[in-house]
C-alpha cells in the first residue's frame, strides 16, 4: 500500500502540491492525470524520494520495491538482453555469488532463492519484453551503444518491467514507442501483477490499463474509481453539481445581503439583520468552477481542388547515399482522403511523408502534384529549428510576409489566435514556450495559407489529453486531405478513414480497422519469432522429429527430466557435493530448457500446419 499524507511541495514561492492526501491499495492500476505543469512528474519524484517534500509524508511497506524507468543508462557495449537481466540487482548478485561462494550451505540457499524467483526462465522473460517493445531476436545480443535514443529508452522500459517491482511508476512510457509497441504494452500493463502508477496523455492506454485515476488539479489530488472515460464523466458531473451549488449559494447570499442592507438601520429589524449577518459569516463558501483554459485549434479550409491531388507511380524512394527505403510505391491521394500510415518505426513512414511533402525526390518512377496544390507539413523535429530568440508573433509575421508582403498585425494575431495564442503568449520568446505550445505554433505555421493537404508526422508527442482532443476535433472539422503518422490509437481511429501499411520496403492498403491491425501485428510477430527460432534450430545438430506424436513424446520426456533436475537442485544436500558436479548439473539444466523450447516450437509449427 502506498500512502500520501499532507504532502506539500514548493518551488521558490510557488506551491505545486498543497497538503495532498491519497491512498493507493496493492495491485491497483492508477492513471495519474492533469494538465501539463499540474505536478504529475513532481509527485512521482516525491514518491521515489528523488526530491524532498516541504511537508507531509509518503509511506509504503518496507518489503515492497519501488521501480521507475532509468533515464541515465551509461554508454556501454553490453548486449541488450544482458542489460535487462542486470537490472534485477538481487538476481544478478546471486548468479555472481554462485561462482565465488564456497560454503555448501550458502550455495544451497543461493540456488533455492534463484529457484524461488524463477531465475532460470529469466533470459526468456527478458527476450519477450524486448521483442514485445519492437526489437528483433537477432538484435538482443547487439551492444546497447549501437542504438539511438528512442530505442535506448525502450531498453530502459524493458529493464523496469523485467524487475517487476511491487510499485511501478511509469512517466509517459509510450513517448518513444510506435503504435505496434504501444499495442503490446497496453496488454502487458493491463496484466501487470502488482501496483502500477502511470502518467500518460494517451487516453487509449489509460482506458485499457487502469482501474483508478488520481487527478492532479489546483495543487490537490483527487481519487476516482474506473478508467479514464469514467473519470471524465464523473468529473464533468461533479463540476456541474459544484457550479449549481455555487450559483444557488450566491443567490441565497445576495438575498440575505439585500435584507441586511435594507433593514440594519431600523430598530425593529436590527436583530433580524444582525442574525443574517452572522449567518452570512458562518456560511461555508462553495468555490465557483474555474474552467481550465480551453485549448481549441482551427485549421482554415482550402478551396476545393480536383482529385487526385498527388499521383505516385511505381516510385522507389530513399536517400542519395543508400538503397531505396521503399520500392514500387503506387498510390493516389484525393482531396477528401484521411490516410493513416501504419508500420513499425524505421520501416519508412517518415520517408513516405517527405516524398509527399516534396522534401525528398524519387530514385526511380514518378510523382505528380497538382499545380495549385498547397501542402502543410508538420514534423516534431521542426521544433529544433525554431528561432528561440524570436516571439511567435515575430516568427509568424516573417513567415506570412514571404507570401503576403503587406500582411497586417491583426491578420497575424488572428492566425495565432486560431491555435490558442493570446496576445501575451504570442509576445513571449519562443524559447520560453512549453513543448505543447511549440507544437501549436508549428500548426499555425503550416496552415496559415489554408493548405489543401496536411501532412502530420507524430503531431501529439508534446500534447496533453485536452490538446490532443482539440487537435482531433480540428482535423475532423478541416475540409482538406490528411496524411498522418501517429502512435496515438485514439487519433488514428477518429481521424483516418484509410490505412496504408508501410512494411518490408513496401506501401500497401490495409483493409480493416485498428483492432484488425492489432490482430495482424500479433500474428506477424508470432510468425517472425517462429522464423527466428527456425534459423536457430538449423544450427542444432540433432533436429527434432517431424512426426507430431514423436515430438510430443520427446517434450514429455524432457519435462520429466526437467522436473527431476529441479528436485535434485532444490535439495540443500545437493550443494554439499562436488562443485564440478554442481556446475555440470546446472549446465545440463540450461541445455534442457533450450532443447525443450526447440521441440515446443516444432510442435506448434506442426499444429499450425
Cis before 308 (ω within 30): yes
Task: Give the confidence band of 193 by pLDDT, cuts at 50, 70, 90.
Answer: very high
Q: Are residues 208 and 341 in the same domain?
A: no
* Separation of alpha carbons 210 and 28, rounded Å: 8
Which residues are 213's β-sheet partners?
31, 224
What average pLDDT does range 276-290 have in this prediction?
56
Please check the confidence at residue 75 and state whether its pLDDT lies above 90: no
Note the pLDDT tens digit of each residue in 467-493: 888 899 999 999 999 999 998 888 898
Q: What is this structure's pTM?
A: 0.72
Q: What is the pLDDT of residue 291?
A: 46
Please check the confidence at residue 66 and state whether its pLDDT lies above 80: yes
Q: Give percent of the chain with pLDDT exceeding 90.
A: 38
How many domains, the chain?
A: 6
Task: Give the confidence band of 294 by pLDDT, cuts at 50, 70, 90.
Answer: low
Please check the confidence at residue 14 and state whether its pLDDT lies above 50: yes
Q: Are residues 588 and 509 in the same domain?
A: no
Among 500, 515, 539, the domain boundary falls at 539
Q: Is residue 382 part of a domain?
A: no
Q: Are residues 74 and 153 in the same domain?
A: yes
| Residue 596 main-chain phi, psi, to 5 deg | -60, -40
Mean pLDDT, the chain, integer: 84
* Separation of alpha carbons 199 and 18, rounded Å: 20
Note the pLDDT tens digit of each residue in 20-48: 999 999 999 999 998 877 889 999 999 99
Which residues are within 8 A (CB) of 440 and not within 5 positions of it... i.e. 6 or more apart? 295, 297, 419, 420, 421, 467
Note the pLDDT tens digit of each residue in 550-575: 777 788 888 888 888 878 877 767 76
Q: Is 586 exposed, middle or buried (0-12, 13-18, 19+ CB in 10 A)?
A: middle
Q: Are residues 345 and 490 in the same domain?
A: yes
The helix/strand count (H/E) of the chain reads as 20, 18
Q: Are residues 463 and 529 in the same domain?
A: yes
Among 164, 185, 202, the domain boundary falls at 164
Q: Is residue 381 part of a domain?
A: no
Q: Are residues 106 and 141 in the same domain?
A: yes
Please check the confidence at residue 544 and state whether its pLDDT lies above 90: no
Q: Is residue 589 part of a domain?
A: yes
Among 539, 557, 582, the domain boundary falls at 539
Q: Are residues 76 and 145 in the same domain?
A: yes
Please check the confidence at residue 119 and state whether its pLDDT lies above 60: yes
Q: Give percent of the chain with pLDDT exceeding 70.
A: 86
Q: Are residues 3 and 152 in the same domain?
A: no
Pairing label, strands 14-24, 2-11: antiparallel
Q: Which DSSP letter does residue 543 get?
A: P
Q: What is the pLDDT of residue 559?
A: 85
Which residues are within 8 A (CB) of 65 and not within 5 positions of it... i.e. 6 or more apart? 163, 165, 166, 167
Please check the confidence at residue 381 and state whether its pLDDT lies above 90: no
Please check the confidence at residue 289 and state whether its pLDDT lies above 50: no
Task: Give the confidence band of 330 by pLDDT, cuts at 50, 70, 90.
Answer: very high
Q: Is residue 299 part of a domain?
A: no
Task: Give the confidence band of 316 by pLDDT, cuts at 50, 70, 90.
Answer: very high
Residue 421's SS3 state is coil
Q: What is the CA 600 to chain-centroid distance, rounded?
A: 34
Please check the confidence at residue 282 and state whether its pLDDT lies above 90: no
Note the pLDDT tens digit of each residue in 503-528: 999 999 998 888 888 888 888 877 87
Q: Is residue 54 part of a domain?
A: yes
Q: What is the pLDDT of residue 606?
A: 65
* Separation of alpha carbons 248 and 354, rounded Å: 57
What is the H or E stretch that residue 302 is in?
none
Please check the confidence at residue 280 and state whether its pLDDT lies above 70: no
Q: Is residue 301 part of a domain?
A: no
What average pLDDT does range 221-238 have in this prediction?
86
Cβ(46)–Cβ(54) below 8 Å: no
Q: Which of 170, 13, 155, 134 is nearest to 82 (CA)?
A: 155
Q: Are residues 326 and 368 in the same domain?
A: yes
* Separation of alpha carbons 515 and 581, rounded Å: 52
Q: Which of 130, 187, 180 is nearest to 510 (CA)?
A: 180
Q: What is the pLDDT of residue 276?
A: 62
Q: What DSSP letter does each residue of 112-180 carry, written as one string?
A: HHHHHTTGGGHHHHHHHHHHHTT--GGGGGSBGGGS-HHHHHHHHHHHHHHH--SEEEEESTTTT--HH
Q: Is 600 exposed, middle or buried (0-12, 13-18, 19+ CB in 10 A)?
A: middle
Q: Is 11 exposed, middle or buried (0-12, 13-18, 19+ CB in 10 A)?
A: exposed
What average pLDDT does range 150-173 have in this prediction?
92
Note the pLDDT tens digit of each residue in 433-447: 888 888 889 999 999
Q: What is the pLDDT of residue 106?
A: 82
Query: CA 181, 185, 190: angle at the middle one, nearest 5?
Result: 160
Task: Give the confidence band of 364 by pLDDT, cuts at 50, 70, 90.
Answer: very high
Poorest-confidence range of 98-112, 405-419, 448-462?
Answer: 98-112
Provide the domain limits for residue 591: 548-607
Please check the confidence at residue 357 and state whether its pLDDT lies above 50: yes
* Separation of alpha carbons 534 and 316, rounded Å: 32
Q: Are residues 591 and 495 in the same domain?
A: no
Q: Is residue 462 part of a domain?
A: yes
Query: CA 77, 81, 82: angle at the middle one, nearest 5?
Result: 60
Q: Are residues 4 and 47 in the same domain?
A: yes
Q: What is the pLDDT of residue 248?
A: 67
CATH code at 329?
3.40.50.300
Q: Are residues 436 and 462 in the same domain?
A: no
Q: How many CB atoms lie within 10 A of CB 38?
A: 21
Amino acid at each position: 500500500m502506498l500512502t500520501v499524507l499532507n504532502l506539500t511541495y514548493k518551488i521558490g514561492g510557488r506551491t505545486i502540491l498543497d497538503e495532498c492526501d491519497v491512498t493507493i491499495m496493492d495491485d491497483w492500476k492508477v492513471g495519474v492525470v492533469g494538465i501539463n505543469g499540474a505536478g504529475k512528474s513532481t509527485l512521482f519524484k516525491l514518491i521515489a524520494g528523488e526530491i524532498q517534500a516541504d511537508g507531509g509524508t509518503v509511506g509504503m511497506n518496507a518489503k515492497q520495491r519501488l521501480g521507475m524507468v532509468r533515464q541515465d543508462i551509461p554508454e556501454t557495449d553490453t548486449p541488450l538482453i544482458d542489460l535487462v537481466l542486470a537490472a534485477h540487482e538481487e538476481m544478478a548478485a546471486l548468479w555472481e555469488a554462485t561462482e565465488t561462494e564456497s560454503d555448501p550451505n550458502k550455495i544451497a540457499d543461493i540456488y533455492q532463492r534463484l529457484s524461488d524467483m524463477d531465475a532460470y526462465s529469466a533470459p526468456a522473460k527478458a527476450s519477450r519484453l524486448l521483442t514485445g517493445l519492437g526489437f528483433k531476436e537477432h538484435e538482443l545480443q547487439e551492444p546497447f551503444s549501437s542504438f539511438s535514443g528512442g530505442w535506448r529508452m525502450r531498453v530502459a522500459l524493458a529493464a523496469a518491467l523485467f524487475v517487476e517491482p511491487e510499485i511501478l511508476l511509469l512517466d509517459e512510457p509510450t513517448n518513444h514507442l510506435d503504435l505496434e509497441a504501444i499495442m503490446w504494452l497496453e496488454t502487458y500493463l493491463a496484466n501487470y501483477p502488482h501496483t502500477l502508477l502511470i502518467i500518460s496523455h494517451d487516453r487509449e492506454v489509460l482506458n485499457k490499463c487502469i482501474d483508478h485515476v488520481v487527478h492532479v488539479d489546483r495543487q490537490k489530488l483527487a481519487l476516482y474509481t474506473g478508467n479514464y472515460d469514467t473519470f471524465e464523466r464523473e468529473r464533468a458531473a461533479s463540476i456541474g453539481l459544484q457550479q449549481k451549488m455555487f450559483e444557488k449559494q450566491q443567490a441565497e447570499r445576495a438575498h440575505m445581503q439585500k435584507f441586511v442592507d435594507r433593514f440594519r438601520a431600523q430598530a425593529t429589524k436590527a436583530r433580524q439583520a444582525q442574525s443574517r449577518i452572522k449567518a452570512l459569516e458562518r456560511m461555508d463558501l462553495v468555490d465557483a468552477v474555474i474552467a481550465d483554459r480551453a485549448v481549441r485549434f482551427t485549421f482554415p479550409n482550402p478551396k476545393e481542388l480536383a482529385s487526385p491531388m498527388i499521383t505516385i507511380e511505381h516510385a522507389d524512394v530513399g536517400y542519395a547515399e543508400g538503397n531505396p527505403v521503399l520500392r514500387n510505391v503506387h498510390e493516389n491521394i484525393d482531396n477528401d482522403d484521411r490516410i493513416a500510415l501504419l508500420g513499425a518505426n524505421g520501416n519508412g513512414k517518415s520517408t513516405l511523408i517527405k516524398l509527399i511533402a516534396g522534401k525528398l525526390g524519387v530514385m526511380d518512377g514518378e510523382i505528380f502534384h497538382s499545380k495549385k496544390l498547397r501542402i502543410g507539413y508538420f514534423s516534431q523535429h521542426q521544433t529544433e529549428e525554431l528561432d528561440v530568440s524570436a516571439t511567435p508573433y515575430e516568427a509568424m509575421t516573417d513567415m506570412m510576409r514571404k507570401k503576403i508582403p503587406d500582411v497586417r498585425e491583426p491578420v497575424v494575431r488572428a492566425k495565432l489566435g486560431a491555435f490558442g495564442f493570446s496576445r501575451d503568449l504570442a509576445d513571449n520568446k519562443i524559447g520560453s514556450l512549453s513543448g505543447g505550445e511549440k507544437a501549436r505554433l508549428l500548426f499555425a505555421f503550416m496552415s496559415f495559407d489554408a493548405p489543401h493537404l496536411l501532412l502530420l508526422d507524430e503531431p501529439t508527442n508534446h500534447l496533453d489529453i485536452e490538446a490532443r482532443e482539440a487537435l482531433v476535433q480540428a482535423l475532423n472539422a478541416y475540409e482538406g486531405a490528411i496524411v498522418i503518422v501517429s502512435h496515438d490509437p485514439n487519433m488514428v481511429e477518429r481521424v483516418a478513414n484509410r490505412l496504408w501499411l508501410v512494411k518490408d520496403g513496401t506501401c500497401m492498403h490495409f483493409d480493416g480497422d485498428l483492432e484488425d491491425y492489432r490482430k495482424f501485428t500479433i500474428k506477424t510477430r508470432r510468425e517472425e519469432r517462429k522464423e527466428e527460432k527456425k534459423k536457430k534450430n538449423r544450427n542444432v545438430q540433432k533436429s527434432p522429429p517431424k512426426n507430431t506424436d514423436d515430438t510430443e513424446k520427446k517434450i514429455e520426456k524432457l519435462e520429466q527430466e526437467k522436473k527431476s533436475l529441479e528436485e535434485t537442485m532444490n535439495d540443500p544436500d545437493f550443494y554439499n557435493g562436488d562443485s564440478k558436479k554442481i556446475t555440470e548439473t546446472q549446465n545440463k539444466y540450461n541445455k534442457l530448457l533450450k532443447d525443450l523450447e526447440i521441440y515446443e516450437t516444432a510442435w506448434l509449427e506442426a499444429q499450425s500446419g
